[in-house]
Structure 1
């Protein structure tokens, strides 16, 4: 019966890790795999529980920081730099431009106002705004 509990913990932690990508529950899944193997070998339940906790917490403490640092969400936002666009509107946050079918808030590097119809070149990114330079 306890074998099913360990397998349930493995499945739950791996599925939760898949959806959250926090590198937190992964280590408990690995600890549960070790505890599952111990249960198959007939090791007493208290030893299984202690081993599960020790393995999980040690792996969490040692490897989580490296896993988080090595995992980066990959986006293509930097591919927008160097592209041309036309200012198409305004909102409360500033001027809008449409690039690759997505509307972005745009601002100039020097703070100059943009007008609808201005042709701009994307020069950089600041937070969620595109930094642009007007084209002559």
Structure 2
């Protein structure tokens, strides 16, 4: 009945693996299962421990990398925080230039600016977020020619 200790260890490793998803403890669970078989065959405890260590190491070196790659390939990437805002539409609340401005983005007011060399965007324009730099949204007009200031007045001429 000593093999049940190995089975219990394997179950414990498997349960903790479900929480961590590191694909390390599941390899230890495999080693514990093979050690349980060694116990059932009547092998001495020190041999069971060696079997546990060797099998766990072999599993870590051969299968872990493949499992991690497969897991990441099959899991869709969910954008969060600032990454989720890139590409979203915003509305200009205060004129946006290279030096600053304000936009309403996802229900919040953000500091915004246009990329270097771009025209100032007037209040009310709809813009798209190009990137987030710290707490500032870098924006551009939704479509060329839509909502851009008159080039003759934008440069202060």
> TM-score higher than 0.5 here?
yes
Could you tell me whether the CA contact under 8 Å between 1:95 and 1:114 is conserved in 2? Answer: no
Larger radius of gyration: 2
**1:84 aligned residue:** 89
Per the alignment, do residues 37 and 104 of structure 1 end up closer, same or farther by CA in structure 2, a change over 3 Å counting? farther
Superimposed CA distance per residue, residues 18-38 of structure 1 (whole angstroms, 9 cap, x where no aligned partner) = 111111111000111111122
**2:33 aligned residue:** 33
Q: Shift of residue 42 of structure 1?
A: 2.2
Q: How many residues align?
A: 130
For 1:8-47, list aligned pairs within 5 A: 8-47=8-47
Distance (Å, rounded) in 1 between the aligned partners of 2:103 and 2:17: 37
Distance (Å, rounded) in 2 between the aligned partners of 1:10 and 1:64: 17
Q: TM-score, normalised by structure 1?
A: 0.65
**1:52 aligned residue:** 52
Determine which structure has the larger strand proportion and give its number: 1
Per the alignment, do residues 70 and 131 of structure 1 end up closer, same or farther by CA in structure 2, a change over 3 Å counting? farther
- Superposed CA RMSD: 4.0
Query: Aligned pair 1:121/2:128, yes or no?
Result: yes
Per the alignment, do residues 31 and 118 of structure 1 end up closer, same or farther by CA in structure 2, a change over 3 Å counting? farther
Q: TM-score, normalised by structure 2?
A: 0.58
Q: Shift of residue 106 of structure 1?
A: 8.0
